[in-house]
A and B are shown apart, each in its own frame.
Chain A
């Protein structure tokens, strides 16, 4: 057992030890004990992931761990990348969670026990190397995350609703993944990934296509890909913020991992239409997600929609890689896949940071509504600063982590010109348009989040009472912010790791890995984010120095001019809703906002108005159009089926008898 296996074993051990520790320890110790052990799980993840990325691999068969099937583990560089990301985020967020739990924010026994299990499952899903092992860890991850989402169910009714949505969506997704993995396993007469990989070329194209579509839908629902994203904007805001950070920065990644593992590795490539489907889903998710983010008024919901956008971009990159691979452009495919993986890394960094700082705001103010926030920069300077760094990353602007990965994604699309075929000539421009549009809207969405949420003056009592979070939270956020900055200025550090991860699922293996690494180095030489950032910061400092020399250091405090209108009240500010109004009007046809004016006249005369109430909402249109009919149909079917069960035992015996007869007839017909 090498370092990868040992680290994973220690991680599982820590998680196992954390459960009794969380259950028996008194409330003052509980969060500290569970948090420390969870952080240890994360550190083990970093160790084993880093070992896998440095070129080691690990396989193990543990026949006695799970009954019947046993546990198969296999870690290559691709798994290693996802394990390392998960480990890093878990380690920091677990420490953040210890600070978050102070002063009466204790998450309770069940949540404290579920957190380390969730963390361990996040590490073990990418390490699974057989269908049953994978499904076991996947379900462990789903159930433990559901428990964590429901932590605050006594405080708000909306938590229960969000939990229900998440439970249903995640279980439906599980069914799809089960079908996608069990079907090829049955055909291959073996449930290990090795057996499926070996048998895949002999499977019929129709079956392979169906398996891929099932996997895309199942894993896509975990990544929040449109139209299966409905749980994400509900569950992420309602979960406690450390959990939101883990879910949005780590768990959704595993959806992308699943698509890569099944599509590129187990089924080894496939046809062009698979990847075109993936690209289409990715492009729609990217644009729709960020459009919803730019009009929503809930801080955490905005971040959740932004997750849909970023996972869409990742899927777009994966689809592009698959498309290039079908034309045997393995190096180009490698660059596109490396771009997608780099975006996974940068998204995890800035989204963990953004959810942690949103959690800090929520904890200090009790408010998630951007319309009621504002004025936090003086009271919460660290939180504001780190949110700004995260927002810079999410808006894909220079100095932010997201910029380099979106840049690399565009680079890989540019080289698509080398590809033959009219389909490519039509699809790639649309893909570029989707990336470009989402980049533009992301700037608006995050200027809104930072500008209306943190700047200006407080618009509610909660925001006015805000005070900076405890040191345990601020320093962990500072670590995440530092990680974002390092990724933003020196993404080249990841070059060889990305090349290895790409090589693990490319047909050429090590040769492709080397070629991709060289090409990444060449591409890296044409853009140096460090020069861009250093030049801009240096320029600003020179200008500031000149200004100081010319005008002197002292500023005189004066009242706001405001066109001579006198001191404006907090209610006169632009809110998030008013900020987004022009955009909402521009995308009126896509968003279909609902507004409602309710006028109550006085009794004496209808011309004398007593009250006017105005209500406006931007409901998720896809949810309205797609889910409502499906739910209605399911309800109708359920109601109709009640007629079948009237309580008579004779009738039930009749059902059993007739099904037996039908089964026998069917068997006779087949034989």
Chain B
């Protein structure tokens, strides 16, 4: 069992690198969203609000008074907390900068996928809890997309796990670092495409969902969170940007693992931090640039995209058994 090497042992350096990852994600995720908006604005010929605008928005929202809309219950209030907490947990667990994270016991691909789904489910329940037509509509659409996206993620992760014999993320990343050929194998390429489509769906990006839309017919994520305001909305926005950052980070950890520190030395970790920030930034920039040329899919065309990516993921698993 190669996975056993990355078990639940907790070291000071591991905890430090987990804390570093969480701090990096919290601080960097709104900047990532700002960067993507800025790139998009420039490519569309607008001046743009600047990379720091999401942080300024969050600051403004945090200063407002919290509200309790009539007829909403405890689930409505806790859902943003759950979403942020799951994103934090995932940020701490995935080996972004070092394969020696402090949360070995949670650094499992299936657990990571399930945690992100838990956040989605919590927000969908909050949307239903408002009892408005929009809340229900957003929740229904979001759960349809999740129900089809989660299997794809599980399949793709499974394909990457069979070779290593473990779903332990540090073990998978470590194996690809030791054997670079693994990353460009057919299994990995198929899984990379499948996961890319799902990252778009889970993070609510074009062509699955338009994060800047306020048109009723096309809203998914925005429709669920219409009733949130002030600090609650700040949490929802922060969680959404963190999920985007974490998903891009997961993709880069699986398919562009180079530079991730395998030791706990300060120079290695510092270098890995810079490289990781760069990787996620470039991925975000590419995504933003791509979105300029893309229109949102009709809601009932989205399952076709997801079914396609599911098929790729099945092929990846089959390839991992055959090749």
User: Is A bound to B?
Assistant: yes
Q: Give the contact stretch, choosing among B34-42, B69-77, B245-253, B272-280.
A: B69-77
Shortest Cβ distance from B306 into A: residue? A586
- The reply to whether B62 and A425 contact each other, CB–CB distance below 8 Å, is no
Interface pair A456/B130, CB less than 8 Å apart: yes
* Binary contact track B55-87/A, C-beta < 8 Å → 1, others 0: 000000010111111111111011001101110
A117 CB to nearest chain B CB (Å): 41
List 13 contacting pairs A-B, 8 Å CB cutoff, sorted by A: A407-B111, A410-B154, A414-B166, A440-B146, A440-B147, A440-B148, A443-B121, A447-B143, A455-B129, A525-B7, A544-B81, A558-B69, A573-B132
List, in ascending order, chain B residues with CB within 8 A of A536's CB. Answer: 82, 85-86, 89, 115, 118
Task: For A377, give its contact among B75, B167, B317 (CB under 8 Å).
Answer: B75
Contact segment of A55-63, A391-399, A473-481, A641-649: A391-399
Contact A525 B8 (CB under 8 A): yes
Which chain B positions have C-beta within 8 A of A582?
140-141, 144, 299-300
Contact residues, B206-252 vs A (CB, 8 A): 216, 226-227, 229-231, 235
What 16 additional pairs, Cβ within 8 angstroms, besides A425-B318, A560-B227?
A407-B111, A413-B158, A417-B162, A417-B165, A426-B318, A433-B151, A436-B155, A457-B71, A527-B111, A540-B81, A555-B67, A557-B70, A574-B133, A581-B140, A583-B143, A586-B303
Least CB separation from B169: chain A residue: A526
The answer to whether A444 has its CB under 8 Å from any CB of chain B is yes
A346 on the B face (CB < 8 A) = no
Stretch of A25-33, A197-205, A562-570 on the interface side: A562-570
Stretch at the interface among B46-54, B101-109, B256-264, B288-296: B101-109
A154 contacts partner chain B, Cβ-Cβ < 8 Å: no
Query: Which residues of B lie under 8 Å from residue A411 when comparing CB positions?
Result: 167
Q: A212-220, A302-310, A545-553, A600-608: which one contacts chain B?
A: A545-553
Given contacts A426-B318, A582-B141, contact A543 B84 (CB under 8 A): yes
B interface list, Cβ under 8 A from A: 1, 3-4, 6-8, 62, 64-75, 77-78, 81-82, 84-86, 88-89, 92, 103-106, 108, 110-111, 114-115, 117-118, 121, 124-125, 127-137, 139-141, 143-144, 146-152, 154-155, 158, 161-163, 165-168, 171, 216, 226-227, 229-231, 235, 299-300, 303, 310, 314, 317-318, 320-322
Instruction: Determine whether the beta carbon of B89 is less than 8 Å from that of A573.
Output: no
Residues of the B chain whose Cβ atoms lie less than 8 Å from the Cβ of A396: 114
The smallest C-beta distance from B43 to any residue of chain A, in angstroms, reads 31
Q: Is the CB of B134 within 8 A of A563?
A: yes
Would B151 and A444 count as touching, CB distance under 8 A? no
Q: Does A528 contact B (CB under 8 A)?
A: yes
Please judge, given known A-B contacts A414-B166, A561-B69, A583-B144, whether A429 and B151 are in contact too, CB under 8 Å: no
Q: Are A537's CB and B4's CB within 8 A?
A: no
Per-residue B-contact encoding for A263-282, CB less than 8 Å = 1, 0 else = 00000000000000000000
What B residues does A436 contact at CB under 8 A?
150-152, 154-155, 158
Q: Which residue of A lies closest to B144 (CB)?
A: A582
Q: Which residue of B lies closest to A374 (CB)?
A: B131
- Please tell me if A556 contacts chain B, counting CB pairs below 8 Å: yes
Do residues B88 and A451 form an inter-chain contact, with CB atoms below 8 A?
A: no
Q: How far is the CA of A552 from the CA of B231 in the complex (A)?
A: 10
- Indicate if the CB atoms of A560 and B68 lie closer than 8 Å: no
Assess the A443–B136 pair: CB atoms within 8 A: no
Chain A residue contacts of B82, Cβ below 8 A: 536, 540
If A455-B125, A582-B141 touch, does A560 touch B106 (CB 8 Å cutoff)?
no
A interface residues, how many (CB within 8 angstroms): 88
Is A559 an interface residue, CB under 8 A from the partner?
Answer: yes
Partner of B132, one of A437, A440, A554, A562: A562
Asked if A294 is an interface residue, CB under 8 A from chain B, the answer is yes
Least distance between B66 CB and chain A CB atoms (Å): 5
In the bound complex, what is the Cα–Cα distance between A452 and B129 (angstroms)? 8
Question: Quick check: B75 and A429 within 8 Å, CB to CB?
Answer: no
What is the distance, in angstroms, from B75's C-beta to the closest C-beta of chain A?
A: 6
Of B118, B129, B155, B230, which contacts A551 at CB under 8 A? B230
Residue of B6, B127, B143 touching A526 (CB-CB under 8 A) = B6
CB-based contact A573/B67 at 8 Å: no
The CA of A297 and the CA of B288, in the complex, are separated in Å by 41
Chain B residues, CB < 8 A from A522: 1, 4
> Given contacts A455-B129, A526-B108, A531-B106, is CB(A443)–CB(B62) below 8 Å?
no
Known contacts A397-B118, A457-B71, A579-B136, A573 near B131 by CB under 8 Å: yes
Assembled-state Cα–Cα distance A135/B64 (Å):
69
By a CB distance below 8 angstroms, the chain A residues around B85 are 536-540, 543
Residues on A with beta carbons closer than 8 Å to the beta carbon of B130: 456, 560, 562
Interface residue A368 (Cβ < 8 Å from any Cβ of B): no
Residue A389 at the B interface, CB < 8 A? no
- Contact yes or no, B108 A555, CB < 8 A: no
Contact partner of A574 among B77, B137, B146, CB < 8 A? B137
Closest beta carbon of chain B to A338's beta carbon, Å: 16
| C-alpha spacing A409/B230, complex, angstroms | 43
A526 near B3 with CB under 8 A, answer: yes
A450 contacts chain B at the CB level, 8 A cutoff = yes
Nearest 5 CB-CB pairings of A with B:
A574-B136, A528-B105, A451-B128, A456-B131, A539-B85
For the complex, give the distance between the alpha carbons of A440 and B117 in Å: 9
Q: Are B161 and A433 in contact (CB under 8 A)?
A: no
Query: Considering the chains assembled together, what is the distance between the CA atoms of A457 and B131 in angstroms?
Result: 6
Q: Cβ of B111 and Cβ of A414 under 8 Å apart?
A: no
Closest A residue by C-beta to B67: A558
The answer on a CB contact under 8 Å between B167 and A414 is yes
Chain A 562-597 near chain B by CB (<8 Å), digits 1 or 0: 110001101011100011111101100000000000
A527 contacts B106, C-beta separation under 8 Å: yes
Compute how far the CA of A448 lies from the CA of B124 in the bound complex, rounded to whole angstroms. 9
Q: How far is the CA of A355 from the CA of B127 in the complex (A)?
A: 25
A361 at the interface (CB under 8 A from B): no
**A410 to chain B: closest residue by CB:** B110
Cα of A411 to Cα of B157 in the assembled complex, Å: 12
* Distance from B279 Cβ to chain A, minimum over Cβ atoms (Å): 25
Question: Is A397's CB under 8 angstroms from B136's CB?
Answer: no
Report B212 CB to chain A, min CB distance, Å. Answer: 17
Contact of B143 among A444, A547, A554, A570 (CB under 8 A): A444
A522 to B8, CA, bound (A): 10
Known contacts A437-B151, A557-B68, A526 near B165 by CB under 8 Å: no
Contact flag A526-B320 (CB < 8 Å), given A436-B151, A543-B84:
no
B17 to chain A, nearest CB (A): 15
